[in-house]
Chain A
Amino acid sequence: MFSRLIPGIALIAIGGLIYLMFGSGVSPDVQATFGMNPSYQSQAIPIPNLVLPVGTSIGILSLAVIFLGGWQLARGIRSTSIVIGTIAFAFVTAFLLWATQGKSFSLVGMLSSSLVRATPIALAALCGVISERAAVINIAIEGILLISAQAAVIVATLTHSLYLGLIAAVLIGGLMAGIHAVLSVRFKVDQIVSGVAINIFAVGATSFISARFLEKNINALNNSGTFPMISIPLVSKIPILGPVVFENNMIIFIMLFLVFLLHIVLFNTPWGLRTRAVGEHPKAADTLGVNVFLVRYVNVILSGMIAGVGGAYFTIGSVGRFDEVMTAGKGFIGLAAMIFGKWTPIGAFASSLIFGFADSLQIKLQILSVPIPSEFLGMAPYIVTMIVLAGVVGRALPPAADGQPYEKH
């Protein structure tokens, strides 16, 4: 009986807290305007903006959480995800309402920016999934992102072709991952050490090249332009969903395609089965005739190529130039997304969306001049990562042989 009581009371308390934090002190006639149409020239059918009365809406959200608490007390709720999901939704929405009171805020813009910012994280997470499903830990994602970003922009600027830049990024990503594979599989170096070594090398090499060549030759080497936004014909007309999902640049479409492709391949093809077998029980796979070393090499190199696309996002998919250490930890956040997504591509994508949302939220909040210092908002993605890891990793199980070099006897 107590096990129902405490979460129930906690939920009611949280509901009340939400109202106290955000709803109290709001004058009753204040409204928040949420923009539903993209600010750029879009194919989407325009719809009217969502105008909500702040105080009432926050009240409703708090009541929803309190109601959930009551339900928990009376009947008990089995699904923790529903509870956490509702609390998160209520908290964030109430926070947005509070921050937007009296002003206007582009909701579509934020959703779109969440997906865009989630892209490198998702690609990093996919890289991690493919590698770790074959039981090779890939901490080097950050370094691979950095090197491919630089390669992409240099090649794209030199050849005036963004696609060649993308190919260069993919190839270099595969190469760096190949080095990691050789070190981990052939030389049996501790996979985390080899990953960290590649990261250090990547920071040094890219900063070296940036200082030596890029700074003096910006127009010849570091000015590639970016992939233009593409509007997919029919579906982009859908309000809200259309512009957010179907009006993006090439790299984001590649990411979405990869998420679904990899999920299908990993779980529905013989290749995927071999990969997962090697990751769970390499000895058994070996006795069945699977070449464990080959599968690991192939997987790690493929994961590096995916990370190459992720690296390309930073330069030719975003700002069109390379700045030193521009990846700012996205590789590691991708690892957290992979863990949160339980080592599946779609799960990794969903968690990347959450991180992308946190990332874009802190930027939008700075624009809204919310009375929280921008530096604290900047910490948000990292704190969210730590909370996610703390809450989830104990329960999420990595592939059983993760991190262990395979010894063939």
Chain B
Amino acid sequence: MDANEVKPKKIKPSEPEKPDAKADPKKHSRVWRTLAMPLLAVLTGLLVGAVVIIVTDPQVIAAYKNFFQDPLNALAKTAESIGTAYGALFSGALGDPVRIFRAFQTFFASGDSEPLLRAFWPLTESLVASTPYILAGLAVAIGFKGGLFNIGAEGQFLMGALASAWVGYTFNLPWYLHLPLALLGGALAGALWGAIPGYLKAATGAHEVVNTIMMNYIAFRLSDWLLNGPMKAVGYRPITPLIESTATLPRFFPDPSRLNLGFIIALLVALLVYWLLFKTTFGFEIRAVGANPDAAKYAGMSVTRNFVLIMALSGALAGLGGATQVLGIDHWVGQGFSAGYGFDSIAIALLGKSHPLGVVLAALLFGTLRSGATRMQSMAGIPIDIVSIIQGLVIVFVAAPAIIRWLYRIRVAKTEEIVLTRGWGR
């Protein structure tokens, strides 16, 4: 077709054409290959995060000013800085191993379970933090599977939280009615918030990236008005009233452990999404529309109807995330409730390659990171925003595996590309 076909293909020296061991169809090497890139991406992100921590630590900067007089001190301070920071991250995320061991000792000696609860608290908190991430990550992942970029997870999360809180404090029903109703309310609110940009894309071709972002800002303003007006609890603070106890998600352990049914629900929903995507016709349609909308249309699938349904489903998942957060943890909604979940969930979906299992793992990682970062902020004084920096980097590394390959000199025979969205048109 073009004149270039006559010339022999140039073989670049960095990508040898010899048969690659990784093309071997052995299952464990395939699993390794799927896991390796995201793992390396996260590792590299953490490394860069460490560099950022060092470079912005006043003590380390001061030590390096005297580097030539006292090099050991500078290195020691560097190690100390990273050690304190990531040590706080680890103990905030998973718990102090020494403390856990001692708590077990106390439990076996005297039957007192309270030190055990306290020692495991960081771990349960990480699981608690992961729950909304699982659901929000699934929301974005389903969008990606359908070729749609749902940046509106944060707004949908917030609307779901508000709706479920409203059901929670307005009605007084037995728990087996109240709880499912509240969860359903959250999912429906999120579905509505997602369906609007979906419909706009279906009807007018307007790109969902800008529309979902606009819906986010509209959701923030709307929640401001609701929290200061119709949904405001008695008092000065712009928060909703506490939900009834019949609408709360039951917790597994006594205080201070906050691990609740929401975590199990999130895992079940992940399973459900897996089943939906890979074992049903609708799931097949979603994936077909995502892979090649023209072919899907040719095969008779209604691309526009699917756009609306996919966005609604995505919004419902995010709304459910907000609902579980309210019903299981906070029991009321205040300003800034949904902060950060939107962008984090994009990173999680990308890291998990939009597969439900990957999303659950990535969500656990991020929840753990965030949970630990809170402690890193209080113990080592490092602003929690470093997690966003790491996330941005992780996304870049996952989306451009070529960078990781270049960094670590990994060789592969083929390049993989992630094609997730299309341009402004349909």
Hey, which bits of chain A sit against chain B, CB under 8 A?
137, 139, 183, 187-190, 192-194, 196-205, 207-209, 211-213, 328-329, 332, 335-336, 339, 373, 375-376, 378-379, 382-383, 385-386, 389-391, 393-394, 397-398, 402-404, 409
The 5 closest A-B pairs by CB, nearest first: A204-B388, A201-B392, A403-B423, A375-B225, A211-B383
Q: Which of the candidate stretches B245-253, B357-365, B399-407 sits at the interface with the other chain? A: B399-407
Q: Does B316 interact with chain A (Cβ within 8 Å)? A: no
Contact A196 B2 (CB under 8 A): no
Which residues 293-312 of B have a CB within 8 angstroms of A?
A: none
Interface centre among B149, B211, B228 (most CB of A within 10 A): B211
Extra A-B contacts (11), CB below 8 Å, given A208-B383, A212-B383: A193-B420, A200-B346, A204-B392, A329-B214, A332-B213, A339-B424, A378-B221, A378-B224, A386-B200, A386-B215, A398-B424
- B205 contacts across to A, CB distance below 8 A: 393-394
Cross-chain contact B423 with A335 (CB below 8 angstroms): no
Q: Which of B343, B350, B389, B419 contacts A208 (CB 8 A)?
A: B389
| Chain B positions within 8 Å of A211 at CB level | 383, 385
Residues of A within 8 A of B215 (CB): 386
A263–B386 CA distance with the chains assembled, in angstroms = 40
Residue ID in chain B nearest A205 by CB atoms: B389
Other-chain contact of A390, B204, B392, B400 (Cβ < 8 Å): B204
| Residues from chain A with Cβ under 8 Å of B383 in the complex | 207-208, 211-212
Whether A137 contacts B217 in the complex (CB less than 8 A), given A187-B400, A200-B347, comes out as no
User: Please, how many angstroms separate the alpha-carbon atoms of A403 and B347 in the complex?
Assistant: 21
Residues of B within 8 A of A (CB): 2, 4, 52, 56, 149, 151, 200, 203-207, 209-211, 213-215, 217-218, 221-222, 224-225, 228-229, 343, 346-347, 350, 382-383, 385-393, 395-396, 399-400, 402-403, 417-425
Which residues on A sit within 8 Å (CB–CB) of B422? 403
Q: Are A197 and B4 in contact (CB under 8 A)?
A: no
**CB atoms of A196 and B424 under 8 A apart:** no
| CB <8 Å contact, B222 and A379 | yes
Expressed in whole angstroms, the minimum distance between the Cβ of A139 and any Cβ of chain B is 6
**Interchain CB contact under 8 A, A393 and B217:** no
B417 touches A404 (CB 8 A): no
User: Measured between alpha carbons, how far is A79 from B399 in the docked complex, in Å?
Assistant: 46
Return 22 A-B CB contacts under 8 Å, by A number. Answer: A193-B350, A196-B346, A197-B392, A197-B395, A197-B399, A199-B343, A200-B343, A201-B388, A201-B396, A203-B388, A204-B385, A204-B387, A208-B386, A208-B389, A373-B229, A375-B225, A382-B221, A385-B214, A386-B206, A389-B200, A393-B205, A398-B423
Chain A contact surface mostly: helix
Tell me if B211 and A386 are in contact (CB < 8 A).
yes
- With A and B bound together, what is the CA distance between A207 and B402 in angstroms? 29
The answer on a CB contact under 8 Å between A188 and B417 is: yes
Most chain A C-beta atoms within 10 Å of own C-beta, residue among B388, B391, B423 = B423
Chain A contacts for B222, CB-based, 8 A: 375, 379
Q: Main SS of chain B's interface residues? A: helix
CB <8 Å contact, B200 and A189: no
Q: How close is B6's CB to chain A, nearest CB, in angstroms?
A: 12
Contacting pair A200 B207 (CB below 8 A): no
Chain B hits for A376, CB < 8 A: 221, 225
CA distance A382 to B420 in the complex (A): 26
Query: Can you name the residue of chain B whose Cβ is closest to the Cβ of A328?
Result: B217
Query: Which of A209, A390, A391, A394 has most B Cβ within 10 Å?
Result: A390
Contacts of A196 in B (CB 8 A): 149, 151, 343, 346, 395
Given contacts A212-B56, A379-B221, whether A332 and B386 have CB atoms under 8 Å apart is: no
Contacts A207-B385, A335-B210: A391 and B343 contacting too (C-beta < 8 A)? no
B423–A393 contact, CB under 8 A?
no
Select from chain A the residue with minimum beta-carbon distance to B4.
A409
Q: Which residue of A lies closest to B388 (CB)?
A: A204
A188 CA / B229 CA spacing, docked (Å) = 48
Q: Which residues of B contact A209 (CB under 8 A)?
A: 56
Contact at B206–A390, with CB atoms within 8 Å?
A: yes
In the assembled complex, the Cα of A336 lies from the Cα of B207 at a distance in Å of 10
Name A195's closest neighbour in chain B (CB-CB).
B209
Partner of A194, one of B218, B400, B417: B400
By the criterion CB–CB under 8 Å, are A192 and B229 in contact? Answer: no
* Most chain B CB within a 10 A radius of its CB, from A198, A208, A409: A208
Contact assessment for B385 and A198 in the assembled complex, using a CB-CB cutoff below 8 Å = no
CA separation between A385 and B218, bound complex, in Å? 11
Residues of A within 8 A of B385 (CB): 203-205, 207-208, 211
- Given contacts A197-B399, A208-B385, A409-B4, are A375 and B391 in contact (CB under 8 A)? no
A190-B419, A207-B383, A332-B210 known; A393 and B424 CB under 8 Å? yes
Q: Is the CB of B221 within 8 A of A394?
A: no
Q: Which residues on A sit within 8 Å (CB–CB) of B204?
A: 389-391, 393-394
In-complex Cβ contact of A389 among B211, B350, B423 (8 A): B211
The winner among B2, B229, B388 for most chain A CB atoms within 10 A is: B388
**Chain B nearest Cβ from A33, distance in angstroms:** 30
| Contacts known (A403-B422, A409-B2); A382 close to B217, Cβ less than 8 A | yes
Closest to B396 in A: A197
Asked if residues B423 and A402 are in contact (CB atoms below 8 Å), the reply is yes
Q: Chain A residues near B211: list those with CB within 8 A.
A: 386, 389
The residue from A190, A200, A329 contacting B217, defined by CB atoms under 8 A apart: A329
The complex places the Cα of A200 from the Cα of B392 at a distance, in Å, of 5
CB-CB < 8 A to B213: which residues of A?
329, 332
- Cα–Cα, bound, A199→B225 (Å): 27
Is B4 within 8 A of A190, CB to CB?
A: no
